[in-house]
Amino acid sequence: MKRVLSLFALLFASGAALSADLRLVAVDAAPKAAGPYSQAVVVDNLVFTAGFTPRDPATGKMVEGDIEAQLNRTLDNVQAVLAGAGCSFKDVVKVTVYMTNLDDFNKMNDAYAKRFGDHKPARTTIQAARLPGNAQLEIDMVARLPK
């Protein structure tokens, strides 16, 4: 029993320390969170973004158009949040792309490559049955704060 209590105390203390090191990011240049979550969270030197869809931050409406138009609006949204956290695409280490139609993968990939240039973070692309607002894609990222 004493061992369990010691472990609980250690976990509780670690959780308290982590909570103190969290910084929530919110910027006006990206769509406001549509639920009980943050646009991004900074922990130590890492930035974790929420998933972003191609919503226009001014109107809150989905951008119309093909996968390239939706990708560019989505990347604009994530880029704004990363800037609010103090970093940019060059600091991104991991990207997850959720798409409703992987038949659009090559078009998405070409547009994505134009935005990231020579920087090539790790990436996972997953087909999802449905995304919020019937978006064609959703993207989240993990970045590191520059030194």
- pLDDT per position as a tens digit, 103-146: 999 999 999 999 999 999 999 999 999 999 999 999 999 999 99
Which of 145, 138, 129 lies closest to 92 in space, CA to CA?
A: 145
- CB 53 within 8 Å of CB 143: no
User: What's the CA gap between 75 and 73, in Å, rounded?
Assistant: 5
Assess whether pLDDT exceeds 90 at residue 9.
no
Residue 38: both structure tokens together: 């943050």
Distance CA 89, CA 142 (A): 10
Mean pLDDT in residue range 75-103: 98
Domain boundaries of the chain, sorted by first residue: 22-144
Mean pLDDT over 17-27 rounds to: 79
Tokens standing for residue 53: 């869809």
Q: Which residue has the higher pLDDT, 11 or 141?
A: 141
Task: Indicate the pLDDT class of residue 93, thresholds 50, 70 and 90.
Answer: very high
- pLDDT tens figures, 39-84: 999 999 999 999 999 999 999 999 999 999 999 999 999 999 999 9
Structurally, at CATH architecture level, domain 22-144 sits in: 2-Layer Sandwich (3.30)
Say if residue 108 is exposed, middle or buried (CB neighbours under 10 Å; 0-12, 13-18, 19+).
buried
How much is the pLDDT for 19?
Answer: 56
